Amino acid sequence: MRTGEDFDFESFKNEAMAGLSSGKKMTGSDGVLAPMMKHFLESMMAGELNHHLSESKLNGFANRK
């Protein structure tokens, strides 16, 4: 899955079921849940960053080094 792309749950579900049926691990970096966890974590981090930047802007703090 590429960054910035919407998560296709149906595609994930089909791939996960096929992976589990073939004996693939459920967890871990190569497990069937890895793509969903990756998307979930990236979405949370992006939301946190957006919130932080918008809150700083509203409080009058410039985004600078």
Which of the four pLDDT bands, split at 50, 70 and 90, describes residue 65? low
User: Can you give the pLDDT at residue 52?
Assistant: 87
Which of the four pLDDT bands, split at 50, 70 and 90, describes residue 2? very low
Q: Which residues contact 14 (CB under 8 A, 6 or more apart)?
A: none
User: Can you give the pLDDT at residue 21?
Assistant: 93
64 pLDDT more than 80: no
Helix or strand or coil: residue 21? helix
Question: Mean pLDDT over residues 34-45, rounded?
Answer: 92
Residue with tokens 């409080």: 59
Instruction: Name the pTM for this structure.
Output: 0.64
- Cβ contact 1:35 at 8 Å: yes
